[in-house]
Structure 1
Amino acid sequence: MTEHISEHTAAPDEPESATVTYLHPQTTQWQWTADEGDDEDEAPAPTVADRTVVLETARVILDKPTAPAGPVPAGPVEKTVDLDAFDDAPLIPAWMKSPEGWAAWAGVFYRARRRGFRRWVRRQATDKGHVRQFGRGTRRMHEWVVGFEGVRVQSAAHTAHVLTREARAASRHARFTPRILGSKKELAMKAAQAATAAAEQAVALHRKAKKDRNRARNLRAGVVYGPPLAAIGSGYAYGGGLGLAAGLLATFSGGAFAGRKPYEEDADWTSEWRSLGDGDRMTAPMLDSAFRAAKVIGSDETLRVVQMPMLDTRGAWTAVLDLPPGIPAKRAIRATDELAAAFGVEEAQVSIAKKGRSGRVELYVSRDLPFTDKAKPGPLLALEASANFWGPISIGPDVRGLAISISVVERSGLVGGEPGAGKSASGNTILLAAALDPRVILWLADGKGGGDLEPFEHLCQAFEGDADPEAFYEMLLDLIKDMKARYALLKKLGKRKVTEELADKHPELRQLLLWVDELMFYTTDEEYGKKITKALRNLVSRGRAAGIVTFCATQKPGSDVVDTSLRDLLSIRWALRCTTPEASDTILGKGAAASGYSAKTIQAEMRGAGYLWAEGTNPTMVRADYYTDDQVNTLLERATEWRRKAGTLPNGPVPLTDQLRAQGDDDALLLAAVLDIFTAHTTEAGPVEWLPGQLLVDELKTAGHPVTAEKLGALVQRTDEEKAKRPWGEKAARLTGYPLQRVEATATTRFGLTA
């Protein structure tokens, strides 16, 4: 603030006076030239100290005594003003009372309010903004409405799902347990009933939990969402648009009040614990953290990434890592379970294998549980020519989707796993490959007696399907004689072992596959068990060079089931799902589970998956190629045709119709035609047991056989009971006819044949 004093010479009749004027600092007048849109602050107003200086100066000037310069003019004297009242009244410049002054103050007020609005808008993006407050309040109220009952419902749903699956498995086991087992059937039925009751109770608890959750949520929703809806609705009903705006404003204010306190920490408080299972990317720091958590490396050690983590076409993460010096790869392989927990996935999703050298590993983490999707058609379906059992045999894909093949030349194998693990389907990969090679001789024994191997029976040179230990022992003795004959021929030829070229020149030396299903049934027989074990050990140990390949399948090949002297000779091991790590070790060998290869880790959903130890130094998890029953029949039809063309189809039972046609007699040909008519009328329910005589005569004439009803009746002699009329057709007309059993009896009795 500056002081400017204007003085002038007073007239003789005029007292000395002073004029006090307020000026803006460094200006000659009060001016405001800033643009209205400028955000700069206004010019500072006069302060109290500045006013004090001006007032004191004014007193000095006004109190100075003055003498009149001349005589006092005549006339009225002006009233003296008491300037002491100036101290108690605010000093308002004269220009402030002008329109320009009021406009200046109005501009200042406008710009201040505009800047305030801008600051309010910018504050909305912060935690203290009203919009953010309303968002937090809405979120908090919604979380309160949702509550924590959902966790209880999810737990009940999971329990119900598990118990329901176990109940289905128990019911299936009880349904397929033969009644001849007696107590086992009864125990299985009781277990199925108990599992079903537990599943029903779990489902009921799940429904009750859902009902309680919905009731609680509805009550809390009424408390939270009822007042805002009532305020908005009533405001619109009574006040129209203005009332609606008031209701919305009240709702907004309430939400902002509920969210006035910001979260003390970041909302995502689990960020430090996120992993691959949460959808994060695999990175080098994540690998170091996971391997440290699994105690594979020390807290101050790090991995050297040889191949950076990357996603493959299946959406799985793969990386090649070098462990710190002195740490072997088997330590990481043994810690597969701990690494899976660190990555936040199932153990079956993690695969670790040694890569080239001891301290280098290849890590593979699949996105989903492997081998749970629908199996693709096996490669044997695409064959247009016969297979080659001397070459590699396709087993199935590994966890990476790569096809795994093995060679069985001069090898033997053992397939094991718990019931329902997929031994039959896995065995089809080897059996079908052998059947589709016309040069391979098949010897099959089904210790289960369930009919899994019956479709292969007509291709077998020897077949035991009745689960008879005595018959199987006799079959082994015949096979040992054949092995001795093979060695005699090799000695005569001056060869040490059978090769593909040698087998092609000498049909007696063709490859022979001995497949034994459910070996446990044979080896545990009191009378023939030890004899069978000894004979099998003889074949496995000596038959390799003679071209004899032996495969055995059983549930648990422990020492009490399969003698270790026989089990250790089986070089190819395939461990399907097992209930314990010890059971897995009986298949893969002692110490395999401790090294990280345990079939116990295979989930129930991974049907047909198992650890295959055939090629390389470590087992590999593989899922066998799956072939449906229709596909198996299709492949066996091809195998039959190819073997017939190659002349290697064994002579099996000849159908009765073929035996009749081979007789060359007219009556035999006529009976064969009658049997063909019975076969043509076979339905899904089974073969027809009776046909009307007129139908047979009509179809025989259509086929070109000169026959009459009397001639047919004379050929097939019937009893009075068999001549009785029976209903036939849609109208159920009663007609006389011929039973199938009588036609077959006539053919076998007259010509001495066997049905």
Structure 2
Amino acid sequence: MTPPNDPSEHRPATDPDQPTTLPTTDRPAEAERDDDGPGAEVVSIETARAGRHPYPPTTPAPESPALEGEVVRVDLPGGERRDWLTDLENKARTRRPIVPLWLRSRTEAVHTLRWVGVHYAHVAGYQATRTPLYAGRLAARSPRGLVRLVGGMVKWTFDLEGEPVRLAAVQKADPENYLKLSRQRDARVRLRVPATLGALVTLLIVGIAVAAAPTSAQWGALAVALAVLGVVGRPADRPLIDRAVIPASVEKLTSDIVIRALTALGIAGITQAMAKNPKDAIRFVAPITRDGPGWRADLDLPYGVTVGDVLDKRDRMSGALRRPLGCIWPEGDPSVHEGRLILWVGDKDLSKTIVKSPLLKAASHDVFKGIPFGNDPRGRLVTVPVIENNALIGSLPGQGKTASVRELAAGVVLDPTAEGWFHELKGSGDLDPYEKVCHRYVSGIQDEAIAYAADSLALLRKEVMRRAAALKTLPPDLCPDKKVTRQIADKRSLGLHPLVCIIDECQNLFAHPAYGAKAGEDAEFIIKLGRALGVVLILATQRPDKDSLPTGISANVSIRFCLKVAGQIENDMILGTSAYKNGIRATMFNPGPPDKGGDAGTGYLVGATPMPKVVKSAYLNTAETQLIADRAYALRRAGGTLSGHALGETPAPAAPAHDLLADILAVVAVSEAKVWNEVVVARLAELRPEVYGPWMELEADARAAQLTTALKPYGVRTGQVWGTPEGGGKGANRRGITRDDITTAITERDGKKGSGGAA
């Protein structure tokens, strides 16, 4: 209700196109004093509107800071004139592809066309082999077809299908309708009888003509007649032709199903967004399409929700979509933003799929073109570039790490110009089939095998330095980019052919008390400098921690493949810092072999493709590996590229053999019962600087800890012992060794070796 003195009651209606009268209270005080009018002024409506928006869209606001109490407008007015070109650019920011996804790459197009061809070839072959069965069915059903045909003709000719209606008229005593129906029946019969007689005469003439025709025509006509009668006589519930392919009972992916699944994940951001605005909380940026053997949905998650949040709930999404876990593969697209989700739902469980290696039937291979490694969830081949790269593979035990190494090794040995240095430090013989084509090879977990692998890294370091000098001398026309190419590698006299060093279970090398530190330094040197020189290092480990995998190595490899790991730390050690935070999580895979519901062989591949990709590596069993090795041996023998271990040569070790316990006894006199660790390290470094020299570069506490760690495998413990600094000084208790413990350890070790030899 308006107050009686409200001036709005007496305010006249104003025309928006006429000048507006403003109250005097809206004017500055100076205007009131200078105005001779009755307390109001007339201003233009344009001036009034301009006062509401002091800065037009085309005029930038002044950069001076806002005064206290002044209203600062942060949104531009909505009624400004817009440029049609700007509108067009905004609308066309995301264009749908003209070419379908499966035609964008030659590999995927060939794969799709091959699948279609194989599918229809299977259908044609299946039906062709069952042609006699179908002919028998038609012959068996032809009598029923003849009866149906004759009965149908009789009913049609004499209008017997209308008989029930005429009987109903008789039962109702309705003579008028009966007479009408009778006349209709008589008219139909008069027309249909001649037509039936004509058809019978025609069939008789055709029969006479067939009887006079050759025998082949008679059999053909009989076959056609039986086929027609068989089709007419087919049962409604028993089709003639069997299905060659049973359709999969896979539910089509729709937007409603995707939204239902995402809502069921229990993510707070999605739940809140769906409660506030269920229509626009989850926005699909492209239609859900068929992509390979599955469905693909591209969508934007609600504000504040990232793809990593969804990856953590992959098992719950499997339950929400009612599909096996191996069919659910969400991934992000950080090139757009962290909330862009690409959900791919496959028809088949990836864990149940066995990927066959294309190298199994390859006559040879070129490592400069990469090595076929496995398939992504959509069944597309993934190739790993080898030259100018280094690779790191990690997982829990039994998750397919060695099988992945086998596949890469197969590509190496099938290139007769590539030189393989293979080290299998588990002692299981998984790489033994390749031994006969390797320049250097060892399999074992003993100290001798570890020393051999350490020697290889030392030799590789020297080789990298030699190649760097050799590459520098090549003319620019042969080597314009100062890196090894296929053309340079083929010139065997230059010695710049590809050299691939594989170390499986590398943690046994890098964590070794005697060889680990130096091997880690050599490996880091090779990784940093060897990539352009044709030297490739492939490392595999089942214990990715800072002690077993030096950070200088894990931080510099360019290609990483991580199968199932236990936690975030192991995940980031293999895949790189912040990989887990960015949603690249190998922890989501199930442990165990595929026959027990595990994802063995499946992992995240980073660095080989533009975006991180889930890949299932190809599997080669021992027999298949042996076939590839035999083929590789024949190639190398024909090309004269067998060398080193393959020819039975035993190169001298790059570093002198040594025994830590014996070295300690050599530097600790019999009169010294107990000695500080740091004193022992200093003496060892003086005895063998090439081995123990790096220990002296550590801090004093780190030196003592290094010796403690080195003695653990021998069962020797260190503790607090009393001693004085060499050269005199104040005595103190520090961590040290007891000489008798070293002597006892040597006696026990030599006794075990002696008993083992006698056995």
Instruction: Give the TM-score taking structure 1 as reference length.
Output: 0.47
Greater C-alpha radius of gyration = 1
Higher relative contact order (CA 8 A, sep 6+): 2
Instruction: Give the TM-score taking structure 2 as reference length.
Output: 0.47
